[in-house]
Structure 1
């Protein structure tokens, strides 16, 4: 088995070094498409977070309108109660005066009719306000449910990414202190492997220890089919001095990223459509290039794991 693996590595290195310009350009075009798709997913994630914020703001406005409607309803109820008490008092007075004066009875009857008209108007206003209050209450409940659904899906995605980070950390425990780190930020998981773990200087052939690390990472990714995997190659700013098919640091970083993708593709459980290889050259450093230690940190492979947002997109489109 070891001989077969070694033979596969040599064959892969020879094949990568003999890639024709046309094939290489095709790979670059595919990378551009995939990179655009990755950017679209990132934009969608930001749009979804903006949608959540907008929904929360709208919820606050509905709550404020609801509170104002309750206050208005209570005021109308108070006016209604006062008018009804006045009406009852006048009716009692009417009953007392009925025995004494037809003129007083006529005047009191007119006032009663006016008060009855006022009472009916206030009853109608109270009914209208109650209907508006019910509509606001229903809208408030619908917005609350939508915000709760968005928060639930986002929390579920975050929990899934935390679980993925923990699983990767456990799988790569053997490589702690060997230039490998696992972090979670901005809803994504970042696996960074310094080149000293993976490649010889100027080479894109993955060593045995690095291959084992990538394979163990692949065993976790194979159990998470809903994760987009972007592999980025990075170099320091020292110009490439080697000979052969490489044109520079950017070319080297691309070939190294592709080498990692090829190892991951050996795992049949990983969907190739989820894999993206990208070369960043020296243009995304994480440390200074003015010291040997900083340049060593900049020479790295970063595996960026992003959850797919299909569920959130469907939830937004349904609302």
Structure 2
């Protein structure tokens, strides 16, 4: 009985040993399979994590791009608004510039008209002066210089050499000059005495300055005696400092000895005219 029991136990142990080894082998196989699955899952997990990180990075990049796009869009909208504002201002400025150009054109036209009228008046005045003087003499010249009318009379028609006493024949010429001045009551007449460069000193006259001025005042007295308004007359002497030619010959010195009658608007009226014109221009701008 004891032997049978020992045999049974031995058989059971042997059988148990065989079953456990097979189970162990199966478990090992199962473990390997599970480990493989775990490794595969780990690889996939790591891949998914990498994909997620990459996707997250792309999302962040897209967010940054979106923010930049929004910023650029805002800037474009502002630029568009600024451009619209600038375009509006530009159109306004262009319109103002065109108005300014029109005003300038108008001013230029008015000035051109004024110059044309002035030239017409000057031409008429010169024609009138020549007609009034009525002497076709090379020693009497009527012309216009810088808008001012001049009557230039050679001294040989007015004075003896070295004298400031007006000759009797000169009074015929001066009578015609007086008639012209009297016909222009709104003008002034400046009588300019001119000498040559040869020094002169006689009696109370110290030099050519004295002689030129004395000849001017002598003519003025004759004109006043011919009923010329003395308020229109201006005495002036230029001595030898405004020559027509070099004082190197007798003929040239004779040219330089002359008296000029300068017909010009009265200074106060001239400035009144300018002030009136400026007011007209300012009124046109408003």
Cα contact 1:288–1:295 (8 A) shared by 2: yes
Cα contact 2:247–2:253 (8 A) shared by 1: yes
Cα contact 2:201–2:208 (8 A) shared by 1: no
Which residue pairs with 2:118 in the alignment? 157
Cα contact 2:164–2:215 (8 A) shared by 1: yes
Equivalences for 1:169-188 in 2 at 5 Å?
Answer: 169-177=130-138, 179-188=139-148
Q: Match of 2:135, SS?
A: helix
Aligned with 1:263 (options 208, 222, 225): 222
Superposition deviation, residue 125 in structure 1 = 6.1
Quick check: 1:290 aligned with 2:248? yes
Aligned with 1:273 (options 231, 235, 244): 231
Query: Which string of whole-angstrom CA distances, capped at 9 and with x for unpartnered residues, describes residues 18-45 of structure 1?
Result: xxxxxxxxxxxxxxxxxxxxxxxxxxxx
Which residue pairs with 2:276 in the alignment? 314
Equivalences for 1:54-93 in 2 at 5 Å?
Answer: none
Superposition deviation, residue 197 in structure 1 = 0.3
Superposition deviation, residue 207 in structure 1 = 1.7
Alpha-carbon distance in structure 1 between the residues aligned to 2:105 and 2:264: 28
Equivalences for 1:7-26 in 2 at 5 Å?
Answer: none
Alpha-carbon distance in structure 2 between the residues aligned to 1:137 and 1:263: 58
Gaps of 5+ in 2: 1-73
Gaps of 5+ in 1: 1-113
Cα contact 2:195–2:208 (8 A) shared by 1: yes
TM-score (structure 1 length as normaliser): 0.55
TM-score (structure 2 length as normaliser): 0.61
Computing the radius of gyration over CA atoms, which structure comes out larger, 1 or 2?
2
Aligned with 1:219 (options 169, 172, 179): 179
Cα contact 1:150–1:312 (8 A) shared by 2: no
Over 3 Å counting, the alpha-carbon distance change for 1:264 and 1:156 in structure 2 is: farther
Larger relative contact order (Cα-Cα within 8 Å, sequence gap ≥ 6) = 1
Over 3 Å counting, the alpha-carbon distance change for 1:145 and 1:272 in structure 2 is: farther
Q: Match of 1:135, SS?
A: helix
